[in-house]
């Protein structure tokens, strides 16, 4: 199994889901030879979903889970465009499935793949990726695996080595996660949030410093910025950089990953609550979310993550509005080239229309997968009567 990626792919992946969503948006309209999607894409050929779902789980969420299960090939998302296995997105998929159907038959196979590919994913050769290690550490801790012996790797020690030391003589970067890579340091707040989760669950002494550095990335407006300042900057804070408002993705993911850890942490709880207030302020009247400055189109990635966070925060009305918007970009039972894609969620309305012509191709399926993964748990708040996307012309 091949997990390593060309430098260009590795660099894009390292930017985090927000940057990846934008990259996929730009490439999602590309044309290609008409190749057929594999039978694995057929929801009917995947495992039965829903046996472990909570009673009353919306059918929209279950349909999305079934589609995601069908996208797996032997437990992993295969990127057909680049011929690589995408373990990062596979972990994200696992968390989405756990939120909707914690007993999904796909989860054991995913766990096996992550064990087999752990070294190539998180620490290939001489490189060590902080965000990838943090995601694996979190997955191990959340699933009851041993974080000190995950495929023979001590994930806890590996991540602790990538966290800047704290203490009396520590500099302004104390607690910051950093990559060790020939491609450069692409660590960001997404990976930092995963690091806080993994280190906390594993009982690391580095957890508090990692949390403190993450909280420095929250501006007074309430949002968490995605990118860190330069390592040499004396002021590492978001306010110190006079950062512009950002899309809600980073703030929403931070809430999703850390809300359960805030029950015994008043400082973290207050920061997360402020983040929810920011998310509420960014919601459009139709329930959707786009960029914090309005520069990004309303999309399922941002709306899905925000809706998931709002659902977990008990903001029921706002969560239902977000879920209804996402539901309106989810495919139902269509014909033709989309016959196997019921439950898939489009990035936006343009993606729905484009899919009617050629279906989900090897250059567009990644965008659909990313949108469905990020938006799936938001559908847990789907209100009665929310309509799916009309089948696009040609399907």
Task: Give the DSSP per-residue string, 41-81.
Answer: G-GGGS----TTSPTT--HHHHHHHHHHHHHEETTEEEETT
**Integer Cα distance of 191 and 196 in angstroms:** 9
Nearest-CA neighbor of 223 among 144, 170, 291? Answer: 291
**Integer Cα distance of 216 and 175 in angstroms:** 10
What mean pLDDT is predicted for residues 227-253? 95
**pLDDT at position 46, please?**
37
What mean pLDDT is predicted for residues 284-288? 97
pLDDT class of 394 with cuts at 50, 70, 90:
confident
Which residue has tokens 């968490």? 224
Nearest-CA neighbor of 377 among 108, 97, 110, 43? Answer: 97
Q: Where do runs of H (alpha helix) occur along the chain?
A: 7-14, 17-27, 59-71, 87-100, 106-122, 130-143, 155-160, 189-201, 207-216, 249-258, 266-282, 300-312, 316-327, 349-358, 365-375
**Integer Cα distance of 202 and 157 in angstroms:** 10
What mean pLDDT is predicted for residues 62-76? 98
pLDDT at 7 over 70: no
pLDDT at 14 over 50: no
Q: Distance between the two ends of the chain, CA-based, in angstroms?
A: 34
Query: Could you give the 3-state DSSP secondary structure of residue 225?
Result: coil
- 269 φ, ψ (degrees, to nearest 5): -60, -45
**pLDDT at position 295, please?**
61
Q: What are 196's two structure tokens?
A: 């806080």
pLDDT at 74 over 70: yes
**Integer Cα distance of 183 and 125 in angstroms:** 12
* % of the chain surpassing 70 pLDDT: 86
Q: What are 297's two structure tokens?
A: 């189109």
pLDDT class of 4 with cuts at 50, 70, 90:
very low
pLDDT class of 24 with cuts at 50, 70, 90:
very low
- Exposed / middle / buried, residue 269 (Cβ in 10 Å: 0-12, 13-18, 19+): middle
- Predicted TM-score (pTM) above 0.85: yes
**Integer Cα distance of 99 and 342 in angstroms:** 20
Average model confidence (pLDDT) across the chain = 88
What mean pLDDT is predicted for residues 275-297? 88
Phi-psi group of 158: left, alpha or beta (phi > 0 → left; psi -120 to 50 → alpha; rest → beta): alpha
pLDDT class of 326 with cuts at 50, 70, 90:
very high
Question: Which of 18-32, 57-71, 132-146, 212-226 is predicted with the least confidence, judged by mean pLDDT?
Answer: 18-32
What is the length of the chain? 395
pLDDT class of 168 with cuts at 50, 70, 90:
confident
**Integer Cα distance of 156 and 53 in angstroms:** 31
Phi-psi group of 184: left, alpha or beta (phi > 0 → left; psi -120 to 50 → alpha; rest → beta): left
pLDDT at 320 over 60: yes
**pLDDT at position 54, please?**
85
pLDDT at 64 over 70: yes
**pLDDT at position 87, please?**
97
**Integer Cα distance of 166 and 215 in angstroms:** 15
Q: What are 8's two structure tokens?
A: 């260009």
pLDDT at 50 over 70: no
- 179 secondary structure, DSSP code: -
Which residue has tokens 């993964």? 373
**Integer Cα distance of 344 and 63 in angstroms:** 8
C-alpha distances out from residue 375 to 42, 65, 78, 262, Å: 20, 11, 20, 23
Sheet holding 84-86, edge to edge: 72-73, 76-79, 84-86
Q: Alpha carbon 206 to chain centroid distance? A: 24
Q: Kindly calculate the radius of gyration of the chain based on its CA atoms and give it in whole angstroms.
A: 20
**Integer Cα distance of 233 and 210 in angstroms:** 18
Question: Which of 14-23, 36-45, 158-167, 217-226 is predicted with the least confidence, judged by mean pLDDT?
Answer: 14-23
**Pairing status of strand 72-73 against strand 84-86:** unpaired
**pLDDT at position 118, please?**
98
**pLDDT at position 150, please?**
98
**pLDDT at position 5, please?**
36
What mean pLDDT is predicted for residues 141-151? 97
């Amino acid at each position: 199994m091949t997990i390593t990626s060309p430098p260009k792919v590795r660099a894009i992946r390292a930017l985090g889901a927000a940057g990846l969503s934008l990259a996929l948006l730009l490439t999602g309209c590309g044309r290609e030879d008409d190749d057929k999607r594999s039978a694995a894409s057929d929801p009917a050929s995947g495992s039965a979903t829903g046996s472990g779902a909570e009673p009353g789980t919306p059918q929209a969420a279950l349909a999305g889970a079934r589609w995601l299960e069908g996208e797996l090939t032997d437990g992993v998302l295969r990127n057909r465009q680049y011929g690589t296995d995408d373990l990062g997105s596979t972990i994200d998929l696992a968390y989405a499935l756990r939120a909707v159907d914690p007993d999904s038959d796909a989860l054991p196979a995913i766990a096996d793949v992550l064990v087999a590919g752990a070294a190539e994913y998180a620490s290939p050769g001489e490189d060590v990726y902080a965000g990838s290690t943090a995601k694996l550490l979190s997955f191990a801790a959340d699933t009851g695996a041993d974080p000190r012996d995950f495929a023979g790797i001590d994930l806890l020690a590996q991540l602790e080595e990538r966290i800047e030391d704290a203490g009396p003589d520590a500099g302004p970067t104390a607690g910051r996660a950093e990559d060790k890579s020939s491609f450069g340091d692409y660590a960001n707040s997404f990976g930092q949030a995963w690091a806080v989760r993994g280190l906390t669950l594993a009982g690391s002494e580095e957890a508090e410093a990692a949390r403190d550095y993450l909280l420095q990335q929250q501006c007074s407006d309430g949002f968490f910025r995605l990118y860190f300042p330069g390592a040499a900057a004396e002021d590492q804070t978001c306010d110190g950089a006079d950062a512009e408002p950002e899309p809600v993705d980073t703030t929403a993911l931070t809430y999703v990953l850390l809300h359960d850890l805030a029950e015994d942490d008043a400082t973290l709880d207050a920061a997360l609550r402020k983040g929810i207030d920011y998310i509420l302020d960014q919601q459009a009247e139709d329930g959707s979310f786009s960029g914090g400055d309005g520069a990004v189109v309303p999309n399922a990635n941002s709306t899905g993550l925000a809706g998931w966070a709002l659902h977990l925060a008990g903001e029921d009305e706002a969560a239902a509005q977000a879920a209804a918007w996402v539901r309106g970009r989810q495919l139902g039972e269509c014909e033709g080239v989309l016959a196997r894609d019921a439950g898939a969620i489009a990035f936006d309305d343009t993606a729905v229309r484009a899919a009617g012509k050629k279906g989900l191709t090897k250059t567009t399926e990644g965008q659909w997968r990313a949108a469905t993964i990020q938006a799936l748990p938001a559908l847990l708040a789907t209100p009665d009567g929310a309509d799916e996307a009309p089948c696009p012309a040609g399907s």
